[in-house]
Amino acid sequence: MDVRYRLIDSNGQVIFSNLSESDIRIIPSLKGPSNKFISGRMRAGTMESDGYKVFAFSELKDHIKSSSVFKKEIKTILNSANRIREIIEESARETNRSTSRLIHNLTSINAHNIQEFYSLIPQENVSRKMGKQLAYVQSVVEDEPKEAAMVLLRMAKNNAAMKAEFAVFKKLFDSTPDLRPTNHNVHKVLMNIFYLFFPDFTDKNVRVVVGDREDRYLAYFDYESVHVALYHIIENSAKYIRPGSEMGVKICNHLGRSEIIFEMISTQIRPDEVDIIFEEGVSGDIAKKSGKSGNGIGMSRARKIIELNGGSLSVKPDPGTEEVVMGVTYQKNIFSMILPRKK
C-alpha cells in the first residue's frame, strides 16, 4: 500500500505520519474522502471513523484512476488504526528501554574505568598531593609497571565497550542502519579485539592460539558493527572458558565465504539451549547455576549484527566432553561466525 498518510485520534494527537511538507500544505484544502490535485496527478482525501481521522495522499495510477479503490485504502487504514497505534506505542517503549539500557551500561562502564584508575592511584593520595599529582603518578607507574600496564589495558577494553554500546544503539535500533561494508583482513580485525582481553585471559591462565596470519582471508562487512559483534563473542568466551585451558581460533574458507571458528572448553551448553542462548535475556542453565550469567544481551546482539552484515553465527556443543571443575560443568563448544566476501 503506497499511500502516504497522517493518522490522528479524537484529541488531535498524531499517531503516525509520513507526509511530506507539500502534502501537509494541502490538508486544509481537503474536502471529503477523494479529491484530485496537481492537475490530476495525485489523489488525496480525508475520512474519519471510531475516534480516528486520516489524511491520505497517493500518486498510484490505480488510485488516480479509481476513487473507490483509493477510498478503500483509506478505510483499510482506519480499520487498522488501533493496531497501528499499538505498534507505534510498543516501538516507542522499546526505544525508551534501549535508551535506558544505553545510559545504564555507559554509566556502569565509566564507573569501572574510574575504579581501575583509583585501584592503581588511590584517590585520597591524589587529593593530598595538590600540585604534585604528575610526579606522584609517574612514581607509581615506575614502581608498578606491570600493574599499570594491566590497568591501561582494562581501561582500553572499557573504552571499546563504550564505543560498542553507541555502535549497537545506532546500528540495531535504526530502521535504516548506516552500514559501510568494505574488505577487511579477518586476522587483523580479530587481533584488534583479542588484545583488549589480554588481562582477562591472563587472569584465568588461558592460552589463546589464533591461526597463522593469512592475508588471503578477507571478508566484506561493516567494520564498526562487526567489531562490536566480535567484542561480545570474545567477552563471552573470556567469561565462560575453563580456567587453565586453551582457546583455539581458526580462519578458513566456507563455501566461498570466510569462517571464523572459536573452539574452547567452556560452560556447558545443553542441546536444547543451542538456539535460545542467542535470544535476548537468555543465559544457559549451567551459566546461571554458576553465578556467571549476565543479562543475556551480548550474544543476541552479536548474532543480529552478523546477520545484518549478511553472515551467520552459530554454536555446536560437543556432548561427551563434559568435565566438572569446582562444581561447574564444562564441555567443548565450537562457535562459528561466517562472513560474506565481496563478489
Please determine, for residue 263, whether its predicted confidence score (pLDDT) is greater than 70. yes
**What are the distances in angstroms from CA 296 to CA 54, 279, 280, 300?**
41, 7, 5, 7
Query: Which of 124-138, 257-271, 283-297 shows the highest mean pLDDT?
Result: 257-271
Closest CA to 247 of 136, 330, 160: 330
Q: Stretch 237-265: mean pLDDT, rounded?
A: 93
Give the model's pLDDT for residue 206: 95
Q: Which of 240, 245, 267, 257 is nearest to 313 (CA)?
A: 257
> What is the number of domains present in the chain?
3
Beta-carbon neighbour count of residue 45 at 10 Å?
23
Answer whether residue 49 is part of any domain: yes
Examine the fold and report which residue of 54, 79, 104 is the final residue of a domain before the chain moves on: 79
Query: Do 239 and 119 reside in the same domain of the chain?
Result: no
Same domain assignment for residues 274 and 319? yes
Mention every residue, 6+ apart, whose C-beta is less than 8 A from residue 101.
Answer: 297
My answer on whether 202 and 330 are in the same domain is yes
- Does 91 map to a domain? no
Q: pLDDT of 129-181, one tens digit each?
A: 666 778 888 888 888 888 888 888 888 887 877 777 777 776 766 667 778 89
Q: Per-residue pLDDT tens for 54-104?
A: 999 999 999 999 999 999 999 999 999 888 888 888 777 777 776 766 676
Res 293: pLDDT: 47
Q: Tell me, yes or no, whether 313 and 268 share the same domain.
A: yes
In which domain, by residue range, is 234 found?
A: 179-339
Residue 123 within any structural domain of the chain? yes
d(CA 55, CA 47): 7
User: Domain with 211 in it: what CATH number?
Assistant: 3.30.565.10
Q: Are residues 206 and 304 in the same domain?
A: yes
Please tell me whether residues 211 and 140 are part of one structural domain. no
What is the rounded average pLDDT of the residues 28-50? 89
pLDDT classification of 285: cutoffs 50, 70, 90: low
Is the full-model pTM beyond 0.85?
Answer: no
Over the stretch 289-325, which tens digit does the pLDDT of each residue have? Answer: 555 545 446 788 889 889 999 999 999 999 889 999 8
CATH code of the domain covering residue 25: 3.40.1840
Based on the fold, state whether residues 249 and 139 are members of the same structural domain.
Answer: no
Least confident of 36-45, 66-75, 160-169, 184-193: 160-169
Does 173 reside within a domain? no
67 and 203 both lie in a single domain: no
pLDDT at 278: 85
261 falls within a domain: yes
Mean predicted lDDT score pLDDT of the chain? 84
- Could you tell me if residue 110 is inside a domain? yes
Q: Is 145 exposed, middle or buried (0-12, 13-18, 19+ CB in 10 A)?
A: exposed
Question: Would 188 be classed as within a structural domain?
Answer: yes
